[in-house]
Amino acid sequence: MQNAIDTLNTKKQAITVQSVYEECGLRYAAIYRNSEAQALFRANSTHLTAKKNRTKHKHSNADQGTLSPRDPLLNYNKPQLVARLREAQQQIQDLERQLATLADTYLQRAAQMAVLEAKLAELEPYRNFVEQVRQRVRQQEHEGER
């Protein structure tokens, strides 16, 4: 196994299960059954070494704080999330009730305004008459002062 790995390194070929088999005839099952061969393969495997380097690189980036922040909701367990969800649903229901009450109040006030505007429209001719009477009285008072 060691000779096959050295030969593959010399040829600058990737060290994989297939390339080891082609070089020395050891199948993966044989490597897997022998703990020393398995450890040797894992230490020199091109794929596993590259994966290990990527993992180290990720950890070094984590130390620098370049990873995106974790969602704090992921820290909750399911019962806590269910409790928060129910609380939020209750708040939504309360707000919907308040909104319905406000909408009803608004509609009642709008209807009351319409009634008052209709009454004001009915009284408009009397207002004009009263205004004309006031102007005559003022004119008479003003003429009486002269």
125 pLDDT higher than 80: yes
Report the C-alpha gap between 93 and 72 in whole angstroms. 25
Residue spans of the domains in the chain: they are 2-64, 80-145
Comparing 3-7, 68-72, 98-102, which segment has the lowest mean pLDDT? 68-72
CA-based nearest residue to 48, from 11, 4, 15, 80 = 15
Q: Look at the pTM and tell me if it is higher than 0.85.
A: no
